[in-house]
Amino acid sequence: MSRDLTPISRLLYEGRPLDAPVAIDRHGVRDFADLRGRVGALAEQIARRGPGRWLVSTENSYGCAVALLALAHTGSKAVLAPNRQPDMLRRLACDVTGAILDPGFRARELGSLPTLHPLGSAPHSNPRFARLDRGAPFVELLTSGSTGEGKPIPKALRHLEDEIEVLEENFGAACSESTRVFSTVSHQHLYGLLFRVLWPLAAGRPFRSETFLHPEELFPRMLESDSFVLATTPVHLRRMCSLDGFSHLRAGCRALFSSGSPLESDTATRVAEAVGTAPYEIFGSTETGGVAWRQQKPGGSASAWTPLARVHIEPPQADGRLVLRSPFVSVGSAVAGEDGQRFAMADRIEAHPDGSFDLLGRSDRVVKIGDKRLSLPEMEQFLERHRFVSEARLVATGHGTQTRVGAVVVATTAGRNELRSQGRRAVASALSEHLGSYWDRVLFPRSWRYVDELPRDAQGKTSRAALESILRNRSRGARTSPILYEELRDARHLQRRMEVPPDLAFLDGHFEDMPVVAGVVQVRWVMDAATVLLGAPPRVASMEALKFHSVLRPGDAFYLEVERDGDRLRFRLFDGDRMFSSGRFRLASAPESKA
């Protein structure tokens, strides 16, 4: 370990000054004395219930840190739920001893499972801790499931400690101990767990516990800090670039990290111009941990990725897949006498003599249509060369001769203008003609969907299920719901980033010359969101201060936000400074929040 780091395995054993700040939340600064005391109190409760595998699902990153350390110091393992969807919770609850959850959160899917709250008990005054075994199981994560159902990935403490050391060696020089760590990504996934919780803990940098739902909330908190870093995704960076307040962060910004998908060069340039530093992009996976990094320079062509220290890139396989050996890899094949395990990723690369490489897409998306094989990434990249296409994603369904390909396309400005003036059929015809110069017509997409942005989760990933939903809704005819791109939640808030589809069923009759989304439809969408936030359909006693400020039309992108305040639900539909509708509902009975 670097001399500037305290390994997680020795953090509570060796200790720090008791007044050293650990985290900041709405209650103020949480210091090291509070961390030790709360870990001791929770560990005692876990020991009484029984060590084992414990489900952990918290919105508060400090609560997550307390839970992870308490479980480790009782010989237990944390199972991090990647989301709070009912099927996911039901699946994870089948094989755990208990659950550690936020206060107020109780899901029916957990049944009678014993539950504890990470910050629910008074801190112990003088707890004692031993060193942790670096080789012991520490946490179990789930893959994103972007190509199928997520799989459990175990991590021993050594996998995480070794990666933290490399991160500090590579990127820590820009930060001091007082540098505050902010994040828009969840600690329930590996990227957020490392950058938001474990690395700051080991380096002694205080981290912000809450996840702020949008930049307008995040920016003021960062401006309060003399020095800060931010771990985020391309989705959030693209939105930040469009806001005037982004450039005000320049004085305190020490580093920005981005992961989940490669960052567009235009966004990297705009970020660097605004805050003075281009983001550090991290490439990796749940199975491998971090693999490589890059920092795109404004006006340059730095697209190659540099392997992280201790990550050894081997010659690509025959199909171009990346093969690596790393001490961060927790699955794969062991290699006798060598540091770390070997793992073959699904990502294809072009290796360079200096050890860097370019990403060429994934190799596990090759389908057979009739007797012809089609690489979906290759066709996607070809589509993106057309002036109408900014991004493209293809999905294949069916088997053998029944396999069909659908396309979800993010249109450029030229593409959007063509859609408005000539319609979807004309654009599809132009793109098919473009594909005809390279592929047989039998391989062309049979259905096309045009969106302002690809649907991405909080980690910046686009799932197959989200793409299938877009294609399926179109094929079934007019939609009754807006296109959902992103959802963020905490105990009291829910925010969705959405778009009004042009084939919305409720546009019929409202109105022929200028279709708009009726107010009653907007309220329906608010009720859908409120049901998710509360865990049950809300019982409304009255409606208050309901206003429709401006018309919401097909193709409009907007944010839907619902906030619970006691027995009231406040909502608004907006896009930046433009407000579409707002109001509040008084609940007849306030069900316990499920978010």
What band does 284 get if pLDDT is binned at 50, 70 and 90? very high
pLDDT at 465: 81
| Bigger pLDDT: 126 vs 479 | 126
The DSSP line for 250-272 is TTTEEEEEEESSPPPHHHHHHHH
Residue among 496, 585, 586 nearest 546 (CA): 585
What band does 475 get if pLDDT is binned at 50, 70 and 90? very low
Q: What is the radius of gyration, based on Cα positions, of the chain?
A: 25
The helix (H) or strand (E) run that includes residue 343 is: strand 341-351
Classify 50 in phi/psi space as left (phi over 0), alpha (psi -120 to 50) or beta. left
Tens-digit pLDDT profile for residues 108-159: 778 889 999 999 999 999 899 999 999 999 999 987 543 344 689 999 999 9
CA dist., res. 99 & res. 42, Å (int):
12
The DSSP line for 35-50 is HHHHHHHHHHHHHHH-
Residue 589, classified by CB atoms within 10 Å of its CB into exposed (0-12), middle (13-18) or buried (19+), is exposed
pLDDT at 400: 46
| Bigger pLDDT: 504 vs 192 | 192
pLDDT at 401: 45
CA dist., res. 587 & res. 579, Å (int):
24
Residue 265, classified by CB atoms within 10 Å of its CB into exposed (0-12), middle (13-18) or buried (19+), is middle
Over 60: is that where the pLDDT of 374 sits?
A: yes
Please, how many CA atoms are within 13 Å of residue 508, restricted to the half-sphere of its CB? 7
Query: In the predicted model, what is the mean pLDDT of the chain?
Result: 86
CA dist., res. 160 & res. 102, Å (int):
24
CA dist., res. 64 & res. 42, Å (int):
12
CA dist., res. 446 & res. 100, Å (int):
47
CA dihedral 219, 282, 156, 87 (to 10 degrees): 70
Could you tell me the two tokens for 557? 């992108």
Q: What size, in residues, is the chain?
A: 595
Residue among 333, 336, 327 nearest 309 (CA): 327
Q: Are 448 and 431 in contact (CB under 8 A)?
A: yes
What integer is the mean pLDDT of 507-522?
A: 76
CA dist., res. 120 & res. 114, Å (int):
14
Over 50: is that where the pLDDT of 518 sits?
A: yes
pLDDT at 511: 64
Selection from 172-176, 325-329, 395-399, 410-414 with the highest mean pLDDT: 325-329
What integer is the mean pLDDT of 399-409?
A: 76
Tens-digit pLDDT profile for residues 537-558: 888 888 888 999 988 988 788 9
Over 60: is that where the pLDDT of 179 sits?
A: yes
Edge-to-edge strand ranges of the sheet holding 493-499: 483-489, 493-499, 557-565, 568-575, 578-589, 539-548
pLDDT at 1: 42
Q: Extract the runs of DSSP E, i.e. beta strands, from 404-524.
A: 404-411, 447-451, 483-489, 493-499
pLDDT at 532: 83
Collapsing DSSP states into helix, strand and coil, what is residue 373? strand
Residue among 454, 260, 449, 101 nearest 279 (CA): 260
What band does 503 get if pLDDT is binned at 50, 70 and 90? low
What integer is the mean pLDDT of 39-50?
A: 95
State the angle between helix axes of 376-383 and 424-435 in degrees (0 to 180), rounded to the nearest 10: 120
| Bigger pLDDT: 437 vs 289 | 289
pLDDT at 592: 47
Over 90: is that where the pLDDT of 84 sits?
A: no
pLDDT at 293: 97
**pTM given for the model:** 0.73
What integer is the mean pLDDT of 447-465?
A: 79
The helix (H) or strand (E) run that includes residue 292 is: strand 289-294
What is the number of other CB atoms lying within 10 angstroms of the CB of residue 91? 15
Classify 252 in phi/psi space as left (phi over 0), alpha (psi -120 to 50) or beta. alpha
What integer is the mean pLDDT of 366-383?
A: 77
